[in-house]
């Protein structure tokens, strides 16, 4: 596998936000979202065997009562690498709770059912509208999560309609609406969390407002957090 970085941090998003987590960031992505904050994962990386990845994760996780048991496989786009399902299987067998974050463009069908899929649906302002693989709706389980990254009212209206049309709240553990965090280099504007919260409340949507906690704790441009 080609790996950009493996590190321990606080889970910043989703229903497990705030928990210690080991992140395995794979290299490569076939999408180019306008607001992407991990462009450094598009190229480069280090080739590691599955056993080497597992060893690095085990070292960071520690042992005993305070062993970190939550692992996220992310990217880039982790499903571009054919070894990802096998890596998830090995992590599950080793006793980890495994999360896999994906753009939603690749099929999630080959992933182990016990792995928690965090599946994006790209909104219009991402520049990648229409890339979602609709077959993934049938592969979602009640343990999975669907995420919309929202940059504008147009994005919000799209996410609301998609959520309602496909009854996402009944399909998955949680539907997440996450505001775009303003780029420190001012390449794109952000959406104020308060604004997104007010839209959600006004419409009474059964979704969770998701904030990227790590960007409040550390410099938003920092890698490995």
Output the pLDDT for position 97: 98
Task: Give residue 27's pLDDT.
Answer: 98
pLDDT tens-digit map of 175-207: 999 999 888 777 888 899 999 999 999 999 999
Is residue 11 within 8 Å of 70, Cβ to Cβ?
yes
48-87, pLDDT tens digit by residue?
A: 999 999 999 999 999 998 999 999 999 999 999 999 999 9
Q: Is the pTM of this model over 0.75?
A: yes
Average pLDDT over residues 111-138: 97
- 117-to-109, 129, 171 alpha-carbon distances in Å: 10, 20, 12
pLDDT at 189: 86
**Percent with pLDDT over 90 in the chain:** 88
Domains of the chain with bracketed CATH: 2-217 (3.20.20.70)
């Amino acid at each position: 596998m080609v790996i950009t970085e493996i590190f321990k941090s606080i889970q910043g998003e989703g229903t497990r936000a705030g928990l210690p987590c080991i992140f395995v960031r794979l290299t490569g992505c076939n999408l180019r979202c306008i607001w992407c904050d991990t462009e450094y994962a598009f190229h480069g990386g280090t080739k590691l065997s599955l056993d080497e990845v597992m060893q690095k994760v085990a070292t960071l996780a520690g042992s005993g009562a305070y062993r970190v048991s939550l692992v996220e496989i992310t990217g880039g786009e982790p499903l571009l690498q054919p070894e990802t399902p096998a890596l998830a299987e090995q992590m599950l067998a080793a006793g980890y709770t495994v999360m896999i974050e994906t753009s939603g463009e690749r099929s999630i069908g080959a992933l182990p059912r016990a792995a928690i899929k965090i599946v994006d649906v790209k909104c219009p302002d991402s520049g990648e509208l229409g890339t979602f693989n609709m077959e993934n709706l049938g592969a979602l389980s009640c343990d999975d999560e669907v995420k919309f990254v929202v940059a504008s009212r147009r994005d919000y209206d799209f996410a609301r309609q998609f959520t309602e049309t496909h009854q996402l709240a009944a399909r998955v553990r949680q539907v997440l609406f996450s505001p775009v965090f303003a780029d420190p280099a001012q390449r794109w504007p952000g959406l104020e969390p308060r604004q997104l919260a007010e839209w959600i409340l006004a419409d009474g949507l059964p979704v969770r407002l998701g904030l990227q906690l790590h960007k409040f704790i550390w410099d938003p441009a920092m890698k490995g957090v």
